[in-house]
Structure 1
Amino acid sequence: MAGLDSPGVKERMLAGEVVVGTFIQTPHPVVCEFLAGMGLGMLCLEAEHSAMGAETVQSLVAACERGGAEALVRIADNDWTYVAGALDAGASGIICPRINTAAEAKTLINASLYPPVGERGIGPGRVTAYGYNAGPDYRARANARNLIAVQVETKAAVKNLDAILGVKGLDMVFIGPADLTSSLGLTGMDDPKLQSTIESILLETQAAGKLTGIFAGNPAGAAHWISKGTNLVLLASDLMFMGNGATDARSQLEALLAG
């Protein structure tokens, strides 16, 4: 199993690397092992909008490692159980959805980081070889290595962004364009108001010295946000890759048969 000695995705970004990964929606280790070998910088397990429980998350984190990729987890909610389940399983960090206030961000940090910054509990999880590899510097190393990201995806979060960014221990603001579109009352993600709002979030977050991340549905979108200085882009998902591949193959075959 992966330890805490190697640089994590957070440390790679702080060193200047732009990390491109994808969401994993399919709760099966074969998908993780396969995509881990496709050259992506990391894989993010989608535990918010899927049927992934704690046991599945741990299995998929291990599968990512076997394939040579780090795993992040978008947890289901801002709850200590979900946070502990992901980090104790060995994930290199978490993305927490629906963080709208500084108080909610502080709750997340308390659950995610060991004292003196937070109040994360100590347990014999997979990340410490089930308690047999938790040396005296383990807690400090885990605090330094793990990526703790809040997802900004509502009008309330945008309004409270300055206060959220002031929470000690927060590493990244990850932008959810789809939910932000809905919260702003817009009809599509190509709306100029959405684009300007996202750019404002990026600029404010960067000015605060925090990392930035965003979801992009296609390579053009990913390239656009990378050009704006985004540190992490989650490009599409395993199901989107499969769907696009199947659709393209069918369209090509139909064109060949019609010609």
Structure 2
Amino acid sequence: MSIRVGGLKPTFRDALRAAERPLIGIWVSSGSPLMAEICAGSGLDWVLIDAEHGPNGLESILAQLQAVHGYPVTPVVRVPFGEPVIIKQVLDLGAQNLLVPMVDTADQARAVVAAVRYPPRGVRGVGASLARASRWNRVDDYLAVADDTVSLTVQIETATAVENVREIASVDGVDALFVGPADLAASMGLLGQQEHPEVVAAVEHCVRVAAELGRPLGVNAFAPATAERYLAAGSPFVAVGADVALVARASEKLAEAFIGERQDDPGGKARTAPPAERPSY
């Protein structure tokens, strides 16, 4: 049995080109296939499986790709860094969409592009017959069409990358860019100040430059007002939350609702609303 390329999912590049509105995504940083599947069924457009800051190895990335496969969502895998061996392994797992962090120059971008392409256009190691990427040679002519099944997004995360954003965005094979304001703020001497006017101005500069070149540029923006700001600025895709952060904040709200008020009022004299009237989380 053979599977044509159409049997694989469209790439993130394809989804961005076809989109009639901005694509909204969520970080899956827990390393949990169950959490990845829950997020995949949420109605959001894309999920980011994070192997840079999340506790992920090859086995857990594979399990999460399998967990989300049956859902109408685009999975993107962030590798720890743009090293060719790691990129080869993650691609062979069947990841079709890569996000590579800390790309500061056009030369670095070209090296990452080479890592996702087979020779003679690149340096990706050839092991398709052993790999989920080709469905173990069940995808017709996989080696010839592999480039069509993979999309590459690079991250702009430093002041140097902002200075070079036009050159990075112009590299053939870079399908999209993604700004990480947290690391960008740190590189600008503004650690923890993603909302600082200078950081916002740098992000919006990148959005404008990418738009001029016809390259989609997304932003990581977990605060709703921040996400809305960058969507209004023209960003075609935004990440608006993370599984671990959502669970952390929701569990804190539960603790505050059910424990906090009892600490303030141990005897319960001030509590007039019955439990059925408590907010639902």
Secondary structure of the residue aligned to 2:24 is strand
What TM-score comes out, normalization by structure 1 length?
Answer: 0.90
Cα distance, 1:250 vs. partner? 2.5
Name the stretch that deviates more: 20-29 or 191-200: 20-29
Task: Work out whether residues 31 and 56 of structure 2, in 8 Å CA contact, stay in contact via their aligned partners in 1.
Answer: yes
Give the share of equivalent positions with the same residue, in percent.
27
* 1:42 paired to 2:21: no
Task: Work out whether residues 26 and 48 of structure 2, in 8 Å CA contact, stay in contact via their aligned partners in 1.
Answer: yes
2:163 alignment counterpart: 159
What TM-score comes out, normalization by structure 2 length?
Answer: 0.84
Alignment of 1:154-193 (within 5 A): 154-187=158-191, 188-193=193-198
Name the stretch that deviates more: 151-160 or 12-21: 12-21
* 1:221 paired to 2:189: no
Match for 2:131 among 112, 125, 134? 125
1:244 alignment counterpart: 249
CA-atom RMSD in angstroms: 2.1
Task: Work out whether residues 5 and 139 of structure 2, in 8 Å CA contact, stay in contact via their aligned partners in 1.
Answer: no
CA distance in 2: counterparts of 1:229 and 1:217, whole angstroms: 17
Match for 1:87 among 91, 107, 110? 91
Task: Work out whether residues 73 and 95 of structure 1, in 8 Å CA contact, stay in contact via their aligned partners in 2.
Answer: yes
CA distance in 2: counterparts of 1:168 and 1:225, whole angstroms: 25
Cα distance, 1:160 vs. partner? 1.8
Cα distance, 1:117 vs. partner? 3.9
Secondary structure of the residue aligned to 1:21 is strand
Cα distance, 1:237 vs. partner? 0.7
1:9 alignment counterpart: 12
Task: Work out whether residues 222 and 241 of structure 2, in 8 Å CA contact, stay in contact via their aligned partners in 1.
Answer: yes
* 1:200 paired to 2:213: no
Secondary structure of the residue aligned to 1:99 is coil
Secondary structure of the residue aligned to 1:71 is strand
CA distance in 2: counterparts of 1:3 and 1:236, whole angstroms: 35
Match for 2:30 among 22, 26, 42? 26
Task: Work out whether residues 33 and 66 of structure 1, in 8 Å CA contact, stay in contact via their aligned partners in 2.
Answer: no
Cα distance, 1:141 vs. partner? 4.1
1:235 alignment counterpart: 240
Cα distance, 1:166 vs. partner? 2.4
Secondary structure of the residue aligned to 2:252 is helix
Task: Work out whether residues 172 and 212 of structure 1, in 8 Å CA contact, stay in contact via their aligned partners in 2.
Answer: yes
Uncovered stretches (5+) of structure 2, i.e. residues with no partner: 263-267, 272-281
Uncovered stretches (5+) of structure 1, i.e. residues with no partner: none
1:3/1:193 Cα in 2 relative to 1: closer, same or farther (>3 Å)?
Answer: farther
1:211/1:140 Cα in 2 relative to 1: closer, same or farther (>3 Å)?
Answer: farther
1:200/1:140 Cα in 2 relative to 1: closer, same or farther (>3 Å)?
Answer: farther
Task: Work out whether residues 11 and 145 of structure 1, in 8 Å CA contact, stay in contact via their aligned partners in 2.
Answer: no
CA distance in 2: counterparts of 1:60 and 1:244, whole angstroms: 23
Task: Work out whether residues 28 and 36 of structure 2, in 8 Å CA contact, stay in contact via their aligned partners in 1.
Answer: yes
